[in-house]
């Protein structure tokens, strides 16, 4: 009986229309730009050597489309994609749709960085990273981890903050250090995890 654990591959969606415009997107369902689609297709080549057993995206179209194009590019055009709201992007509440750089000028750099990166910085009518963590981690532990431990290589395409929340758990990053974690386009985090879902090994791959 094969008891080898599977790999967990975590990736951010590529460029959306609102990313290009510098807007806080949050749960707004923006589409990929043509450039984002092209890059997503190329991203499939980065993981072509890994057999993909299971594919999961958020409910938002930019994540789903990125994953579909990646699967096409890596040789899995017919693999079903599961979608879950648990890994949707952080809700930016009243800041949704506002230009990030105009908001930086308005708030000043310290508050702006607090909103974007801190663990529990409030957002009017929106979510903190702590709140996102509260929905992402149970989904990971209940719906993803058991099958990874049974040997299924699983790819998950989500968003900056849902990924930051998940990586915080996997890598056991302290609250005060999570502000330093960035999730750029084209970055692949490939994990082997223990029975608690924490990191044993980590490989970083990037779209060149």
User: Catalytic: 13?
Assistant: yes
User: Catalytic: 89?
Assistant: yes
Strand partners, 32: 16
Q: HSE on the CB side for 15, CA within 13 Å?
A: 11
Contact 92, 123 (CB under 8 A): yes
Strand partners, 54: 154
* Tokens at 140, concatenated: 């990971």
**Chain centroid, CA 36 distance in Å:** 15
Which of 15, 64, 69, 89 is the catalytic position?
89
Q: Which residues contact 124 (CB under 8 A, 6 or more apart)?
A: 93, 94, 95
Which of 13, 14, 64, 159 is the catalytic position?
13
Q: Which residues are catalytic?
A: 13, 89
């Amino acid at each position: 009986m094969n008891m080898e654990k599977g790999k967990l591959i975590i990736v951010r969606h590529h460029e959306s229309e609102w990313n290009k415009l510098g807007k806080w997107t949050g749960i707004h369902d923006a589409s990929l730009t043509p450039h984002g689609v092209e890059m997503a297709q190329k991203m499939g080549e980065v993981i072509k050597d890994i057999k993909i057993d299971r594919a999961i995206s958020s409910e938002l179209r930019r994540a789903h489309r990125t994953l579909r194009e990646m699967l096409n590019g890596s040789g899995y055009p017919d693999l079903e994609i599961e979608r879950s709201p648990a890994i949707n992007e952080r809700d930016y509440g009243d800041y949704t749709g506002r230009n990030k750089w105009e908001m930086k000028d308005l708030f000043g750099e310290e508050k702006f960085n607090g909103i974007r990166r801190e663990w529990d910085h409030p957002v009017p009518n929106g979510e903190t990273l702590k709140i996102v963590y509260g929905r992402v981690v149970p989904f990971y532990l209940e719906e993803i981890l058991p099958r990874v431990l049974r040997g299924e290589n699983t790819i998950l395409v989500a968003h900056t903050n849902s990924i930051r929340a998940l990586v915080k758990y996997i890598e056991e990053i302290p609250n005060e250090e999570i502000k330093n974690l960035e999730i750029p386009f084209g970055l692949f985090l490939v994990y082997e995890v223990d029975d608690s879902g924490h990191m044993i090994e980590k490989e970083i791959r990037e779209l060149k």
